[in-house]
Structure 1
Amino acid sequence: MSNGFVYKRGKSKYYWIQYYRNGRRYRESSKSTKKMVAEKLLARRMGDIAQGKVPGIHFDKITFKQLADDFIRDYQINEKKSLKRAKQSIKHLTKFFEDYKVPEITTPKIREYIGMRLEEGVSNGTINRELSALKRALNIGAEQTPPAVDRVPHIPMLKENNVRKGFFEHGEFEALYKVLPDYIKGISKFAYSYGWRFNEITGLTWSHVDREQGIVRLEVGETKNDDGRTIYLDEELKAVFDHQWEMIKKREIITPYVFPNKNGDGRIKDIRGSWYKACEVAGIGKRFFHDFRRTAVRNMVRAGISERVAMMVSGHKTRSIFDRYNITNNSDLKMASQKQAEYRKSLTATFSATVADFPTKKGLAKTG
């Protein structure tokens, strides 16, 4: 072959091959003592080069760690809001794939990883997030020039049926609200009413608020889905914002946040300790702040607010996610049964009244 040949290297018992691509020399062991094996490998490499592909030896040198680093760098460059979750996924993937080269990341190995994580008691949803990170890392490698990945293997995803269904009945919220620390009460009432995410509420500054008009606005890029959002506060929430404004003025502490932390000098970061303690004192069991998001959606829909408007208020971009939160509980099912029974009774009553008013044959005969 004009651009490559097979040879023995020093005292090595294996045959080696040498070839060129774009003026660059490549040397590769066939890992075989048979010259025919080496010739076939050389033919395969030359065929790849003829098709404009990068020689396979290139991919043998790329490790999972390199792919993982490029994946995290992509998240950082694009300022993706889920960077923290992405790092957690990569951390778990690295424990298994750290020393793997690109050609070694195969579907059977990925299934092995899934099995390991299931044995550790990890939920299907969490494993799927990790598999999505793996797929994205491989795709980023495949999109590079020259590519770091020659092919992305099939990555099987697990069926998810672990959507939380927690939400607050109004009495439960009232019980919790009474025992919450003062600095958490405002964000809780806001979340209960409008279903905004924890970080969206705790990140609110007075520059987002028009107190005179009772408007709160997040600009494009400030939300999880990057869409802007505007809501009009009801009278109860206006009072909450007025109270926050007065409290900040009394403290004379300069802070831009509408709902500052316990010390009043910065943003609220973590409320879990105080939150879980309040849930226990209120006697409502373990709840999550995110349950407000489901509760607000359900309450808006049941209050007669159109689903489109409810999605705009809560910040749900896709219908599928919104549907997950518009949850039906046992009370809803019981109410539906009662309404059906009432409807059937009304039909029976209407039918009976119609029959009573309809003249019988005997009556018609007399009339005639």
Structure 2
Amino acid sequence: MATVTITTRPRKKGKSYIIQYLEPESGKKHHHATFRRKSLAMQEADKLRSLLDEGKLPKPRRNKKTELAQTFGSIAIKCIHEWQRRHKEGDLSTATLKGYLSFLKPLLKKWDNVVVGTISKDDLLEYRADVAASRSMALANRQMFILKQIFAKAVECKAIQEDPTSGIKYLSEKVHERKQFMQPEKVEKLLKAAAKGRAKHYLPLAILLAVEHGLSKQELLDLQWSDITLDYGETGIIRFYRTKTKVERVHRIMPRTRKALLAREAHINKMRKLRGIPHKGDYVVGHLDGSRMSEFKSAWKSVCESLGIEDFHFHDNRHTYCSNIIMAGGTLKHAKEMIGHKTLRMADRYSHLEAARENVIQDNLAAHYEDPKAMVSRKRNT
């Protein structure tokens, strides 16, 4: 029979009855509950004894005072402090921190003052479904990522006993993967349009770095002149580091990109001398003083509108890079290594282009439709 004891403790008014038990396997003593009435304590002790005899352990009792004090917003603040600390330590990039805060904002709007222990798994699944339907699968997954961090922190702070996000898997984004890309002649038109706009001194370079070297926006905005060696060999080399995957890669600089880099360097030196602009940083696609640029959405949008291009994100230039690697005769492995993906599966979205590049059966089928008799004759001869 399981060992369950009731200890009587005197109080100023009356007595307290403390129930304790020994864990069957370890023999460790645990506190179970405290009652002011002996009859209630005895009833609870009998229930506990029966539960232990069945080989089960009681669930930890809820600390109602702690749970009532912890709202979703108060736990979120703890997460924000942790993210900021990690940012200072270099574990989170500025872009990643901004992303976390951006995904958290709508979550706070919905649950800021709600007691975290009252939010159920069904509530979270319903919210995710609404975001996926009204916005996108990707956004729903990003917000679920933040929710998982918040509820893990709530468990750590003992604000809740069980994590409602446990067991919730991320939605598949396979169907919604963006595969838009531009052929070389359209890239040329894009570059010409960018060279005419207000951002003509940096946007063509930004586009070239994306379509000729596969830079993400984060890599582009973080790129510094110290990452570039223009006098290495005939073309020079350039180093990229993507904080999202923590992958570093080194490329030989493409001719057009090298020309644009030299033009950018000359423009910066000229304007600093002409206007007496102080040197504050080393960023390539940054402000004239070298400080980091946070965005160039309006410049990109303006160029796309001038060409009548719709639903083409700047990140799609990265897809353009990978797609044209395949179309130029490269393999998925080449694309994976050159773009900085960690696994070959991440480059799988470009697999359909391998078939489009060269397909002997498709060529034979075209010949068959063009001249069926000649096709039959060719087969006999072979």
Q: TM-score range by the shorter chain?
A: 0.7 to 0.9
Q: Which residue of 2 aligns with 1:279?
A: 304
Mapped pair 1:188 → 2:246: no
1:110 Cα deviation from its structure 2 partner: 2.0
2:269 to 246, 249, 255: 249
Distance in 2, Cα, partners of 1:39 & 1:86: 49
Cα RMSD, aligned residues only: 4.5
CA–CA separation in structure 2 for the residues paired with 1:274 and 1:322: 29
Give how far 1:64 is off.
Answer: 2.4
Runs of 5+ unmatched residues, structure 2: 22-27
Q: Secondary structure at the match of 2:283?
A: coil
For 1:363, the equivalent position in structure 2 comes to: none
Cα displacement string for residues 210-243 of structure 1 (whole angstroms, at most 9, x for unaligned residues): 1111111136xx5321122111112222222222
Q: Please tell me whether residue 215 in structure 1 is matched to residue 237 in structure 2.
A: yes
Letter of the aligned partner of 1:258 in structure 2?
V
Q: How far does residue 284 in structure 1 lie from its aligned partner after superposition?
A: 2.6
SS of the aligned residue for 1:60 comes to: helix
Partners of 2:333 and 2:247 in 1: CA distance: 15
Kept in 1, the 8 Å contact 2:67–2:115? The answer is yes
Q: Which residue of 1 aligns with 2:75?
A: 67
Q: How many residues align?
A: 340
TM-superposed CA distance for 1:260, in Å, is 3.2
1:171 corresponds to 2:146: no
Q: 1:229 to 1:333 in 2, by over 3 A?
A: closer
Aligned-partner Cα distance in 2 for 1:67–1:282: 47
Whether the 8 Å CA contact 1:28–1:57 is kept in 2: the answer is no
- Change beyond 3 A, Cα 1:110–1:2: same
**One-letter amino acid of the counterpart of residue 155, structure 1:** I
With the length of structure 2 as denominator, give the TM-score of the two structures.
Answer: 0.71
Moved more, 87-96 or 151-160: 151-160
Distance in 2 (CA, whole Å) between partners of 1:99 and 1:6 is: 39
**Greater mean alpha carbon deviation, residues 334-343 or residues 291-300:** 334-343
Which residue of structure 1 aligns with residue 63 of structure 2?
A: 57
CA contact (8 A) 1:167 1:295 kept: yes
Closer, same or farther: CA 297–343 of 1 in aligned 2, 3 Å: farther
Residue 84 of structure 2 corresponds to residue 76 of structure 1: yes
Partner of 2:99: 85
Match of 1:362 in 2: none
Partner of 2:365: 341
Inter-CA distance 3–232: structure 2 relative to 1 (3 Å threshold): farther
Q: Specify whether residues 241 and 333 from structure 1 end up closer, same or farther in structure 2 by C-alpha distance, changes over 3 A only.
A: closer
Unaligned stretches of 5+ in structure 1? 11-15, 358-368
Give how far 1:265 is off: 4.6
State the partner residue of 1:260: 286
Q: How does 1:120-131 map to 2 (within 5 A)?
A: 121-131=134-144
Contact 1:5 1:42 in 2 (8 A): no
